[in-house]
Amino acid sequence: MQAKAGDRLVVHGAHVSDPTRDGEIIEVHGEDGGPPFLVRWSDNGHESLVFPGPGTVVESVEGAAG
């Protein structure tokens, strides 16, 4: 998984009742755009260092419509 600052990280819930979370990737700490990522979550504005797991996708700013 690779990303760059400004991309969106989307974490889908592991269970049907779990919410989907998303946030802006602020910093990329791994080599060649790899994790971990510093993410600012859209639901509460908090920032955390994330090591993405299953159900996590990166939405590239370049691929966004608009």
pLDDT of residue 61: 83
Arithmetic mean of pLDDT, 48-57: 94
**What is the per-residue DSSP string for 3-66?**
--TT-EEEE--SSTTSPPEEEEEEEE-SGGGPSPEEEEETTT--EEEE---TTEEEE-STT---
Distance of alpha carbon 59 from alpha carbon 24, whole angstroms: 10
Q: Considering the entire predicted model, what is its pTM?
A: 0.85
Residue 64 has pLDDT above 60, yes or no: no
